[in-house]
Structures are given as C-alpha cells and as structure tokens.
Chain A
C-alpha cells in the first residue's frame, strides 16, 4: 500500500517537472515570488542574529520551501525545543522550551497570547500554517520591548503571525486550496480578501479538516510483534476567521480578528496491550475576538493597545459500563476578558523606555460536584529600558505580577505578588564583522493552573508559583561566505533551573499537587542557515539545528532518579533541511532526529524510548494560468522510510504517509 502511494507521488512529481518545461509563462511569476521572498528574508534573518536572546524564525518562504503543514512540524525544526506529540493529526501537541515544560511556553496568535487557565498549556495541533507569514520562537526576554506584558512573563514564546493581505492589480483576492492525504485526510480551505478603500481591508477564511487517523503501526511486546491499526483517532474540525485591517495614517493602525474553532476527535489513548477499548471523545469549541491598535504619535512617542474576549468549551466523554451513568462526561467552560495597553518613549535615537500593562479575568466553570468555579484576576505590568545602536543592544526589564482569585466554594489561594527581572545584551565587537556575542538572564515563573489548584481531590490551593531561571550566552554570525550568498550561524549555551516545580505526588491513596521538584538544565543550541546560488536560476537553502539538553532531576538525593534525565527529553536532537528552488519543480527534504529518551523519571532500560530519524520529502510547483490565476501543486511524503517510532511512549507516530494539495489564487 505504502509503496504504491510512494509511486503515485513520484509520478506526480515527474509529471509536474515535465509540464514545467512546456509552460513558459510561469517563470516570470516565480521570479517575482522569489524576489518578494528574499526581501522578507533580508529583513528578518539579521534580526535573529542581532537578537540579544535566542530567536528563531521560520518565514513564509521557509514554510513553502519545505511544505510545512502544521505548526508542530515547524516547531520541530527549531533548536532547543521538544514537541510532545501524541501522534496523528488530532493528537495533542505541546511545546517545551529548553526542558522547562510546556506550561512555560506562551503561544501568541497575531500578537495576543492564547491562554488556557485550566491546563496552562496550548495544544498547537490546531493551527494550520496556511496563510501564516511567520512562526517565531523566542527564548527569554525578546528584544521587542513594545509588546504585551504577558510576553515578558513567559520563559519562551511561540509567535504565529498571519499574513496581511496585499493587493496588486485588483481590489480583491480569492484563494482556494484542497489538500488530501493518507488516513482519510481531507482539508479544503477558502479565503477571500477584499480591499475596502485606501485604508481598510478585510479577509475571511474558512477551513475544514478531517482525518480518519486509522494509521497502521507495529506493536512490539517482548518477543511478540504484531501489526496494529490506531483506533479512535479520527478528527474533524472547522475553523473560521475574519480579519479587518485599517491603516489610518496619523490615526494609527488597527487589526481586528474574529475566530471560531469547532472540533470533535477521538482520543485513542495509549496503546494498551491485549485491549482494544478506546471510547474517549473530546469536543472543543473556541471563539475569540481580538483587536490591536498601534499609533506612532511622534518620533518620541508610540502607543499600543490590545483587547480580547475568549470563550472556550470542552466536553470530554468516556463510554464505559464502569460509570453508573454508562459514561463519564466532563464539561468545562472558560471565559477570559483581556486588555493590554502600552507606551513607548524614545527620547534619543538609541534609547527607549516602555511601559506595558495587562489586565485579565479568567473564569472556569464545569459540571463537577462542588466545583469551586474559580475566577482569576491577573495584573501584569512591565517596565523596560533599551539602549540600541548598530553594535550594541542592551535591554533590562522588570515585570510586576499581581494575581487574586475568587471561588464560590472551598479554599482560595492567597494573592500572589511577584517581581521578575530580565536583562539581555548583544554586542558586535567589530564594526566590519557580522559577529555578535550575546548574554541574557531571565527570571520567569508559571502560576499554578486551575487544575493544579482546584481539580477534585488532587488540587492544592497552597501551591506556590513554579519558578524558572534562565541564563544564556551565545554568539551569532551572519554574512556572505565563499560560495554561500548568505550564511548565518548561532550557538548558545544555557543554564536553567526550575524550582518549586509543580508535580503530582502520591500519598497513600490520593495524589496531590505539590511544589516538590527541582530540575537543572544545561544545554547547547546550534543553528546554521545557508543559501547557495546555483546556475540555471536555481538556489539551494540549507538549514540545520542541533540541541543538547542535559536536564536532570535534582529534587532529592534519596530518590532513585536523582540526577536522572527528566522524561521525554532527549540528550541530543536536531533537524536538517535542504530546499532546492528552481524554475521547474521545487524540492524540499528535511529530517528530524531525536536521541533516546525516557518515558518515566527513572533512567532504566524499561523506560527507555528508542531514538528516531524521520525524513520528509516534498515537491511543489507553481503555474500561472492566463496571467491571472496562480495554481500551485504541492506533494509530500512524510516519514519516507516508514520508521516506526513513538515520541510519547505507546502513542505511536504514523508511518509513511503522503499529502497532496492543489491551490488556486485569483
């Protein structure tokens, strides 16, 4: 089966290449696109090497070159991160930056952080990369001091930026894309962009995705090896998004968004030996509206504001006769109101100071008996100073946090107050060289989630915040080198410490959330990016990332896992990709590799998960029909070698699969 699909894909690729020689009209358009791409790159790449804290960016060009389809695939290419991937299209995917844990990573969508006060982490599986301009990962304090206070509060941040519409010859643009693939993947997308007048534009997008998720895998149980199929792994979701863009000149710029997401999925659970029971299902609804306003009042003054209302609903259901009702149903509803305002003052060209303040109220209600229905007020204020010349960037910030909570019944945690400082420095020692050194320090923390505090029996309202301290030193270099038209290198070494880690601890019969863990991390992240111009209008882009993570549990000397590597954290991991751009058919190849990991805290053979390398091959080709309609055909083979592997133990990843998409833009 898999081999047949591979053949189909190769045939499609060959057909594309053959047709490429016949159609001559497309060359010009391709070149235009490339030029646009280079421009974007030229703006962004140096920013990553100039940044005083580690910053990695995957822009539109990179996404297209490698046919990256969803956010988790993009993030897996970054250094210093581990993606916890439960497998399949609908499987939970969370991001942990430098072993700090997913709850320390903020995910930001068009400037505003996505929050989940209940679980404290964001499932990134639901973000498609269609219409995404860039995905950026920043670690520690970002150089941009003019942003929400929430961005100062996280140890790492993943920022997703959608593309603003651009209009060329006509006041609208329509786009349709259909994607299909293995395991019943069907994913149509529709987008319409309209220019209203000189200042205003609007876009609307609808996106449907479904997948049966019933992929085969090999189950190894001692000496017993069986071929199985993933069950109850289907997913269906609908995403609707509308945006309004306003450029009012002296009146500032406004960007508003309305977003709706609806999904139903099976939760396959971990593979259980000898059992085929999998009846858990999950329904998610998310609705939000957000607006961002920015205005440069003068050379010295800039103001910004964000507002957001977020509603999210989850329904979990497990059907089993062990429940009196024949099923268990958990319904959780969260609402959040959020506002942020900031001002930037730049008295001199090289010096600026900003003050940003956020206020939010989050509320959780659910169907549990005696639910405390917690309400949390969070006030964050960040004061930042920055000195910036072409050779030196120095930033210092101080974040003040105040949190208070209300409950309708039960215990309530004490109010929280905290000051968190951060400093960073980037220096270019030689004027004529693109070489920089950087150093940064950040004190961050995560507030206990509603689950940590209130969840039935296990919750503990006495919890303190979990603290994360980060130190980073690194160097970057970018410029031209030999036959490379562009080369950038970065290497960072870091030391992190997590204290008061929130963990579930067993007492004789009940589990309780406690501030019990301590984790120490030492690591190294290396990134290389190079571009090589080739004859015949071709070019080759190379990207590689390597991470070393030594993240050990230092909670208690008496524990058997004292100084053992924490679970799901490979010592060595990395990625590499090659993209060949040419006038005929663009080819992308990438690999993601991870060393051995442990599923449980004790580093013993039984808990070890094997290393893996996953290869992906992609091809795409654009055409212009009658000079008006842009057609793009794109195909990928994911997990080329049909490698059977787990990221999370007993949550097998899919073997070889294919995807094919066709898009039309008018």
Chain B
C-alpha cells in the first residue's frame, strides 16, 4: 500500500515534469569522469525511491522478458514493473538495457523492438523496424543525446533520444554485439556468431565508426568472436573475444583508441567486464575437461594495467551469470542464473561485502541503481 502511494506520487511528479520538458528532451551532460558508462544514474537532487532495476532476459521463445525492481528502502521486489505499468509484457528475450537521462531503453531482441520507458517503467514508445527487415537489437550505448544500438543483421542504428526515432544506421561487421564510445569514436565488436558452423566462421573485427560523419572508418583485427567491451577513464577499450570455445580460447584485449592498436592482455582474462573508470571489475570462467567451471572475480587496475585481486568477492555463487556496477555508489552486482529457475541478484560493496541478495526473473542480465523521484 505504502509502495503504491509512493509510485503514484512519483508518477504524478514525473507527469508534471514531462509536461514541462517533453519538447527539449534529454541531451544529458555526460559524467566527465566516465564519459560513456551506461550505468551512470541520472543525477537528481530529490530522492524518493531508491532501488535497482533488473532486466531479466527470459527464455527464448517464452515471451517472458521482465523488468524487476528491488526497493532498497523496503527490500521488496516487484517482479515485473513493465507488466504492471503497461499491462502487457516486455516480450521475448531482452538482451540489453540502458538508462540515459530520464529514460530507459530496453533492447528486446526476440520481439524485435526497442522499448523506451520513463524511469517508472511506463512505455513511451515501442520502436519497431522501419526498414522492412526485422529490427534485431543486441546492445546499446549512449553519447551526446543519441543512443547507438547494434543490430544483428550487421548495422548500428542511431536513435535520437528526443524524437525516439532511428535516424540512420551504418553498416558494420557481422552480428555486432557490444559497442562503446571512446575518443569520439564508436567501437563495435563484430562477432559473426551466427556463421560459426559455416565455412566463413566467426568474424574477428572491431568496427571503428566516426561519430561525426557516422561512417565506418576502419576495421581492427582482433581475436575471433569479439563480444564484450568496457572503456576505462583513459579511453582504452577493453574487449573480450570469446574464441571458438575450442582451440581458440577466450581472450582479453585492449584497444588504444589514440592509435587504434590492439594488444592482447596476457596477465589476466575475462568473460564479463564492468568499468569503474580507473578500474575494471571482471569475471572469468575456466573449464576442466568435464566442463566443470571455476570462476575468478578479477579487479584490474586499468591505469597501471595490473591485477589488483583475483577475488573481489569470495562469496561462493554457484552459477554466476552477469556482473554490473553502479559507479556512483560503487555497488557491484553479480547475477545468478541456472537458465531454468528464477535468478538472483547479489549486491556487494567494492570491497566485496555482500549488502543484499534478492530473487528476480529468469536470466537477469542487467542491473541498474536508480533514484526515482
């Protein structure tokens, strides 16, 4: 009951706010310390509801993507805010989420849409394909009033955050996954993941897109199957190539965005990574011959390029899935999933002390700390 009132109050506030500001939307000043960290929460003065949004991917074909909310004050979980607010589901297989300005962007890969909502979860627009071929959004990043979305048919779309229209798209490599902005350039990991069983095989490039002209200027050669990215405070792009799960191993690389040179990092390795600016928090899984996995949680000094610790948490988590970071509070998130049951989110301080654990939906892939007025 109390929660509902809160929501209603928050909703009312937001309505009045949007009435005032709906024309000159968004262009938000980027956090100078960490220019393109999508985890940057909106900088608000008045705080009414604090909590974490968790995007649950769901299972392919099950139309069970959901948006959970954990209220850090009441420690209550709302299983699916999106369904509650919009009386319809998010769709099938959510793949990424971004909070930018006063809006949340959710790439729903299976349903072939991008949902844009306000911070309460009310849908503002469901962006669908305008090109005739299906929109297959994978990952997103933001920069100067635009959201960039990798599309699995080999494009990156530029979405205007005021009009919520896809303005244009640029061709990149095959099956682009994560993307990051550094030094005025957009770096896109071209995985080629869907051609793995054809003679063509995986892609092994990172596209460099000039943001001003929005054209691809070059392709950098990397280890095959590049997927995940993070940018440090110096503008270095850290890139994980997944390899072929066989003779080419998972490899961590660093792209110097001044020279666009790629260097393999041999001192450590990662599959998942999150940037705290000067440091990276990473997770790496290794397998033995029987496919039992050992997980390391690596804290990496991105300035001096060295490992700080291999266990930024010591809590045993049976099936860790994704990691996340709220750079404002320094809260670290590890989600857990067995791909079968509802997942859990574990929250830690940057020193590795567990502060919360709560159950969300199936396959939690993104966690964001928010303060909603």
B272, B295, B339: which contacts A506 (Cβ < 8 A)? B339
Q: 1/0 contact trace for A264-298 toward B, CB 8 Å? A: 00000111111101000000000000000000000
Cβ 8 A contact of A601, one of B86, B126, B192, B340: B340
A3 contacts chain B at the CB level, 8 A cutoff: no
Chain A residues whose CB sits within 8 angstroms of the CB of B153 once the complex forms: 320-322
* Interface pair B197/A277, CB less than 8 Å apart: no
Asked if residues A559 and B341 are in contact (CB atoms below 8 Å), the reply is yes
Q: Are A324 and B198 in contact (CB under 8 A)?
A: yes
Stretch at the interface among A217-225, A379-387, A390-398, A490-498: A217-225
Given A509-B242, A650-B63, A274-B362 contact (CB < 8 Å) = no
> Of B36-44, B106-114, B251-259, B306-314, which stretch is located at the interface?
B106-114
- Report the nearest A residue to B134, measured CB to CB: A277
* Cα A275 to Cα B338 with chains together (Å): 27
Residue of B nearest to A271 (CB): B63
Enumerate chain A residues within 8 angstroms of B287, measured Cβ to Cβ: 507
Given contact pairs A222-B83, A509-B242, A321 touches B271 in the complex (Cβ within 8 A): no
B87 and A223 contacting across the interface, CB-CB below 8 Å: yes
- Of chain A, the residue at the smallest CB distance from B92 is A272
Chain B nearest CB, measured from A568 CB (Å)? 13
Q: Which residues of A contact B64 (CB under 8 A)?
A: 606
> Shortest beta-carbon distance, A358 to chain B, in Å?
33
A324 to chain B minimum Cβ distance, whole angstroms, is: 5
Docked CA distance A270–B320 (Å): 28
Residues of A with C-beta under 8 A to B113: 274-275
Q: Would you call B196 an interface residue if the criterion is a C-beta within 8 Å of the partner chain's C-beta atoms?
A: yes
How many Å lie between the Cα of A508 and that of B323 in the bound state? Answer: 12
A399 and B291 alpha carbons, distance in the complex (Å): 32
CA distance A324 to B172 in the complex (A): 12
- Cβ of A261 to closest chain B Cβ, rounded Å: 27
B290 interface residue per 8 A CB criterion:
yes
- The one of B62, B87, B290, B362 that contacts A270, using a Cβ cutoff of 8 Å: B62
Between B89, B174, B285, the greatest number of chain A beta carbons within 10 A of the residue's beta carbon is seen for B89
Q: In the complex, what residue of chain B is closest to A277 when comparing beta carbons?
A: B134
Residue of A with least CB distance to B283:
A508
* Contact A221/B340 with A270-B61, A274-B126, A507-B287 known, Cβ cut-off 8 Å: no
Minimum distance in angstroms from B208 CB to a CB of chain A = 21
Across the interface, B192 reaches (CB within 8 A) one of A270, A272, A324, namely: A324
Q: State whether B62 touches A599 (Cβ < 8 A).
A: yes
Contact with B along A210-229 (1 / 0, CB 8 A): 00000000000111100000
A600 / chain B contacts, CB cutoff of 8 Å: 59, 62, 340, 362
User: Which residue on A lies nearest to B151, using beta carbons?
Assistant: A322
Q: What is the 8 Å Cβ interface bit string for chain A, positions 340-351, against chain B (1 contact, 0 not)?
A: 000000000000
Q: How far is the CA of A457 from the CA of B108 in the complex (A)?
A: 25
Contact of B275 with A by CB under 8 A:
no
A552 to chain B, nearest CB (A): 14
B371 within 8 A of partner (CB): no
Q: Which B residues touch A604, using CB under 8 A?
A: 342
**Chain B residue contacts of A430, Cβ below 8 A:** none
Chain B residues near A512: list those with CB within 8 A.
291
The CA of A505 and the CA of B291, in the complex, are separated in Å by 10
- Find out whether the CB atom of B86 lies under 8 angstroms from the CB atom of A222: yes
Option from A324, A507, A561, A606 in Cβ contact (under 8 Å) with B291: A507
Contacts of A561 in B (CB 8 A): 340-341
A330 to B272, CA, bound (A): 31
Cβ of A602 < 8 Å from any Cβ of B? yes
Contacting A at CB under 8 A, from B312-369, are 318-321, 337-342, 361-362
Q: Give chain A nearest CB distance to B251 CB in angstroms.
A: 13
**Main secondary structure on B side of the interface with A:** loop
Q: Which of B64-93 contact A (CB under 8 A)?
A: 64, 83, 86-89, 91-92
Write the B200-241 contact mask toward A (1 if CB under 8 angstroms, else 0): 110000000000000000000000000000000000000000
- Enumerate chain B residues within 8 angstroms of A170, measured Cβ to Cβ: none
A509 to chain B minimum Cβ distance, whole angstroms, is 6
Instruction: Tell me whether A275 and B192 are in contact (CB under 8 A).
Output: no
Query: Given A273-B92, A559-B340, do A369 and B201 touch, yes or no (CB 8 Å)?
Result: yes
Count of A residues near B, CB < 8 Å? 45
Is B142 positioned at the interface, with any CB of A under 8 Å from its CB?
Answer: no
Answer whether A322 and B175 are a contact pair too, CB < 8 Å, given A269-B61, A602-B341, A606-B64: yes
- Interface secondary structure of A, over-half rule: loop
Which residues between 350 and 390 of chain A lie within 8 Å of chain B, taking CB atoms?
Answer: 368-369
Q: Are B192 and A273 in contact (CB under 8 A)?
A: no
* B134 interface neighbour in A269, A275, A369, Cβ under 8 Å: A275
Q: Determine the distance from Cα of A456 to Cα of B295 in the docked complex, in whole angstroms.
A: 24
Residues from chain B with Cβ under 8 Å of A79 in the complex: none
For residue B263, CB closer than 8 A to chain A, the reply is no
* Contact partners of B87 in chain A: CB under 8 A: 222-224
- The answer to whether B291 and A369 have CB atoms under 8 Å apart is no
Residue from B126, B152, B341 whose CB has the most chain A CB atoms within 10 Å: B341
Set of chain B residues within 8 Å of A558, measured between Cβ atoms: 318
B29 contacts partner chain A, Cβ-Cβ < 8 Å? no
A275, A508, A510: the one contacting B112 at CB < 8 Å is A275
**Chain B nearest CB, measured from A600 CB (Å):** 7
- Residues of chain A within 8 A of B261, CB atoms compared: none
For the complex formed, measure the closest distance between the CB of B34 and the CB atoms of chain A, giving whole angstroms: 26
Contacts of B136 in A (CB 8 A): 320, 322
Partner of B198, one of A224, A320, A325: A325
- The answer to whether B194 touches A457, judged by C-beta atoms less than 8 angstroms apart, is no
* B64, B87, B133, B319: residue with the most chain A Cβ atoms closer than 10 Å: B64
Cβ-defined contact, A602 with B340, below 8 A = yes
A514 at the A/B interface (Cβ < 8 Å)?
yes
Give B292's nearest chain A residue, CB to CB.
A507
Give complex CA distance A599, B134 in Å: 27
Partner of B293, one of A223, A273, A456, A508: A508
Q: Which of A321, A456, A510 contacts B133 (CB 8 A)?
A: A321
B199 at interface by CB-CB < 8 Å: yes
Task: Please indicate the chain A residues that have their CB under 8 angstroms from the CB of B83 in the complex.
Answer: 222
Q: B101 an interface residue at 8 Å Cβ cutoff?
A: no
Query: In the bound complex, what is the Cα–Cα distance between A600 and B362 (angstroms)?
Result: 10
Partner of A274, one of B111, B195, B272: B111
User: Which chain B residues border A224 with CB–CB below 8 Å?
Assistant: 87-88
Is A273 a contact of B341 with CB atoms below 8 Å?
Answer: no
> Is residue B154 contacting chain A, with contact meaning CB distance below 8 A?
yes
For the complex, what is the distance from the CA of A64 to the CA of B369, rounded to whole Å?
65
Q: Report the minimum CB–CB distance from A503 to chain B (whole Å).
A: 9
Mask: chain B, 272-310; 1 = CB below 8 Å from A; 0 = not? 100000000001010100110101000000000000000
Contact with B along A481-525 (1 / 0, CB 8 A): 000000000000000000000000111111010100000000000
Shortest distance between the CB of A311 and any CB in chain B (Å): 23
Residue interface bits A550-593, CB-to-B below 8 A is 1, else 0? 00000000111100000000000000000000000000000000
- State whether the Cβ of A328 lies closer than 8 Å to any Cβ in chain B: yes
Cβ-closest chain B residue relative to A559: B341
Q: Bound state CA distance, A221 and B64, in angstroms?
A: 10
Let me know if A426 is at the binding interface, CB within 8 A.
no
The yes or no answer to A203 lying at the interface (CB within 8 A) is no
Q: Quick check: B86 and A369 within 8 Å, CB to CB?
A: no
A456 touches B196 (CB 8 A): yes
A634 interfacial by beta-carbon distance below 8 Å: no
Q: Contact mask A426-468 → B, CB, 8 Å, 1/0? A: 0000000000000000000000000000001100101000000
Q: A222 contacts which chain B residues (CB < 8 A)?
A: 83, 86-89
- Contact among B88, B174, B175, B285 with A508 in the assembled complex (CB-CB below 8 Å): B285
* Other contacts beyond A272-B92, A514-B291: 10, CB < 8 A: A221-B63, A224-B87, A269-B61, A270-B62, A322-B154, A460-B291, A508-B320, A512-B291, A559-B340, A604-B342
Q: List 16 A-B contacts (CB under 8 A).
A: A273-B88, A273-B91, A274-B91, A274-B111, A275-B110, A275-B112, A277-B134, A322-B153, A325-B198, A369-B198, A462-B290, A508-B320, A560-B340, A560-B342, A601-B341, A650-B61
Return the 7 tightest CB-CB contacts between A and B, nearest first.
A223-B87, A560-B341, A321-B153, A270-B61, A508-B285, A274-B111, A322-B152
